[in-house]
């Protein structure tokens, strides 16, 4: 598939890139029988960092949220914790893609549909008002689970705090770290 240059996805490049965080995207609730702690993962994303080409999110839709049209990756414009959180909100919006999110994003310079797949501009820009609007549309529908895979992960405590300030429910899970030999 030929992709317009400003909507190119994964920056590719260096083999030294590693996944530093894993994000699970699930419905706000599984059903009345599961309480608030049940999980049914609808999509996943991993934060890929290292190398010289910049950091990016890589998505893997699955289950009930797998419509095959979400972007495969989204470049992170800056490693400032607010921008990392904003990039995840934009990724969530293009993955969940409910009616309210669709109306907010289509027609902006950030997201277009190309050959049936949503594409995110590189670089993208979200205003604080748009971040709030997208978050307000997403918060009632989803919750997030985060596993940090590296101590130097850009999805740090400050970025997670920003997501929580936007209203997201975020559960953090411990990553087993092998003991030093």
DSSP code of 51? S
Identify the three-state secondary structure at position 55.
Answer: coil
- Residue 74 phi/psi, 5-degree rounding, is -145, 120
Token digits of residue 3: 């992709």
Largest CA distance in the chain: 54
More confident residue, 109 or 43: 43
Side-chain-side CA neighbours of residue 7 (13 Å): 18
Mean pLDDT for the chain?
82
Q: What is the pLDDT at residue 38? A: 75
pLDDT at 176 over 80: no
Give the Cα separation of 105 and 94 in Å (integer): 9
Q: What is the pLDDT at residue 177? A: 59
More confident residue, 116 or 90: 90
Tens digits of residue pLDDT in 45-55: 999 998 777 89
Q: ω into residue 68 within 30 of 0, thus cis?
A: no
Tens digits of residue pLDDT in 63-89: 544 566 777 889 998 999 999 999 999
Q: What is the pLDDT at residue 40? A: 82
Could you tell me which of 140, 139, 121, 120 has the C-alpha nearest to residue 131?
A: 139
Tens digits of residue pLDDT in 100-150: 888 888 767 788 878 877 888 888 989 999 999 999 999 998 999 999 999
Q: What is the pLDDT at residue 51? A: 74
For residue 102, count CB atoms less than 10 angstroms from its CB and return exposed for 0-12, middle for 13-18, buried for 19 or more.
middle
pTM of the model: 0.84
User: Degrees (nearest 5) of the Cα angle 170, 73, 135?
Assistant: 35
């Amino acid at each position: 598939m030929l992709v317009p240059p400003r909507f190119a996805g994964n920056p590719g490049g260096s083999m030294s890139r590693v996944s530093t965080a894993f994000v699970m995207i699930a419905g706000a609730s599984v059903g009345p029988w599961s309480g608030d702690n049940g999980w049914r993962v609808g999509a996943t994303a991993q934060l890929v960092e290292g190398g010289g080409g910049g950091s990016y999110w890589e998505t893997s839709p699955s289950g009930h949220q797998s419509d095959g049209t979400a972007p495969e990756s989204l470049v992170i414009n800056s490693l400032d914790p607010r921008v990392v959180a904003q990039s995840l909100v934009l990724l969530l919006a293009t993955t969940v893609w409910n009616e309210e999110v669709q109306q907010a994003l289509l027609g902006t310079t950030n997201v277009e549909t190309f050959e049936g797949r949503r594409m995110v501009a590189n670089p993208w820009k979200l205003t604080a008002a748009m971040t709030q609007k997208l978050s307000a549309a997403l918060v009632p529908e989803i919750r997030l689970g985060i596993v940090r895979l590296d101590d130097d992960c850009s999805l740090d405590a400050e970025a997670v705090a920003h997501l929580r300030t936007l209203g997201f429910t975020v559960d953090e899970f411990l990553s087993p770290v092998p003991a030093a030999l």
